[in-house]
Amino acid sequence: MNYVKQLDREGQQRPFLFSYRRCPYAIRARMALIACEIDFDIYEISLKDKPKQMLELSLKGTVPVFIYNEMVLDESLDIMNWAKEQKKNTLIEINPADERLVKKIIEANDGEFKNKLDLYKYTSNKDITLKIKYRKDCEIYIKSLNEKLETQEYLLSNKFGYLDIAIFPFIRQFFNVDLKWFESNPYKSLKNWVERISDSELFNQSMQKPDS
């Protein structure tokens, strides 16, 4: 992952990612690309001042946007799937028997949970009763993940993989809303999982800053 100052529309040879460091969708895309040993250029956008080049390639104006040759992918899961298909590293292969479950958990994550997470995250601490209500709404999904992790180290098995990458950035964001609560929350297996992935080289590489 190599930070660059712009997309070279004529001469760009390497895969290219428009990204935003803290965006959970962009994090899952970066982690998948790095896990699959794809060497890519990356451009850190400002959400308040999106680059024209990016909007020309993808009208919807969300990150991540991935460009390789003539291909433009502007959905994080499409980027993960493309990385997986390159088969440079089997780390994030999905066992065919798990495909339906993976899809179901990601749909719950990106749909209902993400909506509730945004309500929780963006409700001011001044309205603490409402904020706690939204956190409790999130906890239905949080509890279901915690239960999976009581008997195995990662979401599908004892092996880290695709589903962990897809889900982790959102759970991290959930816990980051209130780090004090994170320390004392009852979801110990999920807390350990978050800490384990947060400490991983893969995650830390994906969070590299533009100026480092």
Ligand X SMILES: N[C@@H](CCC(=O)N[C@@H](CS)C(=O)NCC(=O)O)C(=O)O
Footprint on this chain of ligand X (rule: CB under 6 A): 20, 23, 25, 47, 61-64, 75-76
The arrangement of strands across the sheet holding 2-3 comes to 2-3, 41-44, 16-19, 65-68, 71-73
Shortest spacing between CB 44 and ligand X, in angstroms = 12
Shortest spacing between CB 158 and ligand X, in angstroms = 28
With contact defined as beta carbons under 8 Å apart, do 108 and 115 qualify? no
Of residues 23 and 156, the one with the C-beta less far from ligand X: 23
Q: For residue 198, how many other CB atoms are within 10 A of its CB?
A: 13
Residue with tokens 């719950």: 108
Shortest spacing between CB 173 and ligand X, in angstroms = 9
Shortest spacing between CB 77 and ligand X, in angstroms = 6
Of residues 123 and 173, the one with the C-beta less far from ligand X: 173
- Which helix (H) or strand (E) segment holds residue 120: the answer is helix 114-122
Of residues 19 and 123, the one with the C-beta less far from ligand X: 19
CA gap 166, 163 in Å, rounded: 5
- Which helix (H) or strand (E) segment holds residue 134: the answer is helix 128-149
Of residues 25 and 120, the one with the C-beta less far from ligand X: 25
- Sign of the alpha-carbon dihedral angle for 70, 72, 77, 78: negative
Of residues 25 and 82, the one with the C-beta less far from ligand X: 25
Shortest spacing between CB 175 and ligand X, in angstroms = 17
Shortest spacing between CB 13 and ligand X, in angstroms = 24
CA gap 193, 187 in Å, rounded: 10
Closest by CA position to 161, among listed 85, 95, 86, 103: 95
Which residue(s) pair with 68 in the sheet? 71
Of residues 43 and 187, the one with the C-beta less far from ligand X: 43
